[in-house]
Structure formats: C-alpha cells, structure tokens
Amino acid sequence: MVEQVLRHVPHDEAYFWGTHQGAELDLLLRRGDRLYGVECKRIDAPRVTRSIRVALEDLGLERVAIVYPGDKRFELDSRVEAVPLTLLSERIDPFAWADQ
C-alpha cells in the first residue's frame, strides 16, 4: 500500500513519523508548505486512532487519509477520511474530499 501511495499521490517529500510515546503514521507527506498524513490499514472498517489524533495535533496536518482495501470513500472526522486503495490507481487525490 505504501508503494502505491508513493507512486500515485503527488508529494515533494515522504517520511515515516513516530514518537517515543508510540504514536506513528505510515507516511507523512509534504506538499509545498503543507503536511498530510497517510495510514495504511488492512481492515474493512478503518477508524481514527490515538496515533492519528496525536499526529493531527502535533504536526498540524491538513488532512489524514486512511487507505484501506474497501470500496467506499467516507469521512471519519473533520480532517480524516477513509480512502479505498483502488482510487489511488485512478489518480484520485486522497486529500481532496469527495464532496468538494
């Protein structure tokens, strides 16, 4: 999943992010002066985790996309959305909300 995100999602730089307290993000993407988070999950019902909340607060992320193997795109929180992996190959930006 990480390779698919890196291949299909525009970014200037990409990192793994983690804290000594155990919070982590699979990918931290920088686009210009904005930061975005990506979590890759192998579950059908993704949810907002403590790590995602910590990353949103500590890093000031614009948005977080939880990439998962399902087929529906849906909002989980004001800045967190579940995004099907299949959408990435269609060049659909996971950080552009579906309703915008």
Separation CA 78–CA 5 (nearest Å) = 22
Residue 94 included in any domain: no
pTM given for the model: 0.90
Tell me the average pLDDT of the chain: 91
Which CATH number is 60's domain given?
Answer: 3.40.1350
Q: Would you place residue 97 in the very low, low, confident or very high pLDDT band (cuts 50, 70, 90)?
A: low
Domain total in the chain: 1
Per-residue pLDDT reduced to its tens digit, 46-70: 999 999 999 999 999 999 999 999 9
Where in the sequence is the domain holding 62, given as residue range(s)?
A: 2-89
Residue 97 included in any domain: no
How are beta strands 74-77 and 80-84 bridged, if at all? antiparallel
Per-residue pLDDT reduced to its tens digit, 3-60: 989 998 999 999 999 999 999 999 999 999 999 999 999 999 999 999 999 999 999 9
Residue 49 included in any domain: yes
Residue 58 included in any domain: yes
